[in-house]
Amino acid sequence: MSAPKVLIVGAGPTGLTAALELARRGIMPVVIEKRKTGSNLSRAVGILPRSMNLLTPSGVAKTIRSEAIPIQRALFHKRGRPIASIKLNTFKGPNKRLFGLPQDRTETHLYDAFCALGGKVNYGAELLSLSQNDTGISVSILGKAFRFDTVIGADGVNSTVRDALHIPFIGYELPELWSIADVEVKSWKAPRAFQGFLLDDGGVVVVVPLAKNRFRVIANRPHALPALPVPMNIRHINRIGNFKVSVRQAENYQVGRVFLAGDAAHCHSPIGGRGMNLGIADAVDLAERIVTDTTDGYHDARHPVGKKTIKQSERARHVITSTHPALRLLLRTLLRTAHRSPLLQRRFAKVVLDL
Ligand SMILES: Cc1cc2nc3c(=O)[nH]c(=O)nc-3n(C[C@H](O)[C@H](O)[C@H](O)COP(=O)(O)OP(=O)(O)OC[C@H]3O[C@@H](n4cnc5c(N)ncnc54)[C@H](O)[C@@H]3O)c2cc1C
């Protein structure tokens, strides 16, 4: 049997992982990306142990480890005052850490590994339409028609592939405006810690290391930097912006030989830092199924995982951003107790690292 002709739509972390995994296993896909060049956005920072394990056979985990910041602990503050410090680096094994790396650098490592196998990303190529029948899938790219046996829609939250398949993307959008800042600082206390600042009004500001003296500040407020309740010795602001959070999941991850993976299939708040990691896991699973011709089980395997992740992420968001005084007191008490108990610290770290 000859290898299927595979098209991957989108060269974000999901599409690049799928491309790399297929290429590594002998199927060279066609990859199209509507952006003109690689991304320079540092959206996802946290890379979890599970993703590192999945990226080990391709060698990408090793290159990520050589550049990323291993995050040592999570520090929580009530407004500006520290209330808990929780160790995240107590587990044995090179991958059992939370690694901090800007998303564009993770994408560069995936892209380089794919290109090293002879792969190519066609930048500036946008999928315009898609239809399938018993003999294959017809797509229109930049106004030209092409045929493929299999298509992976890794084209993000506003997926053209999902729309072409008329798959409902069920969920809701959060009312508040979130903000993000990518800053370079002269100095910052605890440069290898994830820091969460709980505000009185249900606000939360998170500071995560991206690189040496470079940090991501993210808040469920319109302006992340003024919302930070402690001074930050900022030398340069690389990027500042706003975004809305949608919490949604595609009703179906596959129709015939067309599949959805990553944000095209699911999206949720950045609390918990799961989005990119979930996309990487979808991509590895799907690539394996394409190689072994077992794609029929893809939806049944990945849809429940996406559902569970969305549920956990929403539960964490509700607790962290609640304005209810009793819930806020409970959260602070839990964090203070965890601070004092090595056993609870370990359990908390397992939840954060998804171990
Ligand atoms: C502020 C912020 C912080 C985050 N932090 C984290 C974190 O710490 N950890 C984590 O795991 N996740 C995090 N996420 C989520 C993470 O960024 C996403 O889950 C991840 O980017 C999804 O990857 P993807 O490849 O599925 O989609 P995308 O990254 O959106 O890539 C889709 C690609 O498809 C291309 N495309 C779209 N339509 C077409 C078309 N018709 N034809 C061709 N190309 C097309 C797009 O240009 C894009 O490059 C964060 C997100 C945000 C916004």
Question: Which residue's C-alpha comes closest to atom 14 of ligand 1?
Answer: 44
Task: State the Cα–Cα distance between residues 303 and 307, nearest whole angstrom.
Answer: 6
Whether 345 and 211 map to the same domain: the answer is yes
The pLDDT of residue 327: 87
In this structure, which residue's CA is closest to atom 9 in ligand 1? 273
**Ligand 1 pocket, residue 306 CB under 6 Å:** no
Q: For a ligand 1 pocket test, name from 32, 101, 103 the mutation site with the most ligand atoms within 8 angstroms of its C-beta.
A: 103
Query: Structurally, how many domains does the chain consist of?
Result: 2
Identify the pLDDT of residue 226. Answer: 94
Query: What CATH number should be reported for the domain holding residue 258?
Result: 3.50.50.60
Q: Tell me if 297 sits within 8 A of 341, measured CB to CB.
A: no
| Mean pLDDT score across all residues of the chain | 94
38 occurs within a structural domain: yes
Asked if residue 274 and residue 229 are part of one domain, the reply reads no
pLDDT of the residue at 177: 94
337 domain residue, yes or no: yes
Categorize the per-residue pLDDT at 1 as very low, low, confident or very high, splitting at 50, 70 and 90: low
Position in ligand 1 atom list of the atom nearest CA 245: 53
Same domain, 326 and 312: no
Say how many Å lie between the CA of residue 17 and the centre of ligand 1. Answer: 12
The CATH number linked to 185 is 3.30.70.2450
Domain assignment present for residue 339? The answer is: yes
Ligand 1 contact, 218 CB (< 6 A)? yes
Residue 71 forms part of a structural domain: no
- In a domain? residue 234: yes
Mark whether 292 and 183 lie in a shared domain.
Answer: no
Same-domain status, 313 and 208: no
Ligand 1 neighbourhood includes 196 CB (under 6 angstroms): no
Ligand 1 atom having least distance to the Cα of 45 = 8
- Are 232 and 279 within one domain? no
Q: Are residues 178 and 240 in the same domain?
A: yes
- Those residues whose C-beta lies under 8 Å from the C-beta of residue 118, and which sit 6 or more positions away, are 23, 28
* Distance from C-alpha of 100 to C-alpha of 43, rounded to nearest angstrom: 11
pLDDT grade, residue 171 (50/70/90)?
Answer: very high
Domain enclosing residue 181, as ranges: 174-244+321-353
Instruction: Based on the fold, state whether residues 311 and 179 are members of the same structural domain.
Output: no
For residue 335, is it within any domain? yes
Confidence of residue 34 (pLDDT cuts 50, 70, 90): very high
Residue 73: inside a domain = no
| Of 190, 198, 229, nearest in space to 323 by CA | 198
Is residue 182 within 8 Å of 237, Cβ to Cβ?
yes
Please check whether residues 132 and 150 belong to one and the same domain.
yes
Q: Is 329 in the pocket of ligand 1 (CB under 6 A)?
A: no
Contact indicator for 32, 122 with CB cutoff of 8 Å = yes
Is the CB of 180 inside a 6 Å radius of any atom of ligand 1?
Answer: yes
Residues 282 and 306 grouped into a single domain: yes
pTM of the predicted protein model? 0.95
Residue among 47, 276, 284, 286 to mutate when testing ligand 1 (max atoms within 8 A of CB): 276
Distance 137 CA to ligand 1 centre (A): 24
For residue 190, is it within any domain?
Answer: yes
Same domain, 217 and 336: yes
What is the 155 CA–ligand 1 centroid distance (Å)?
Answer: 8
Q: Which of 239-248, 257-266, 315-324 has the lowest mean pLDDT?
A: 315-324
Please enumerate in sequence order all residues whose Cβ is within 8 A of that of 289, keeping only pairs 6 or more positions apart, or say none. Answer: 295, 297, 298
Q: Is the CB of 130 under 6 A from ligand 1?
A: no
pLDDT at 273 over 90: no
Query: Same structural domain for residues 233 and 109?
Result: no
Amino acid code (one letter) for 75:
L
Residue 142 is predicted with a pLDDT of: 87
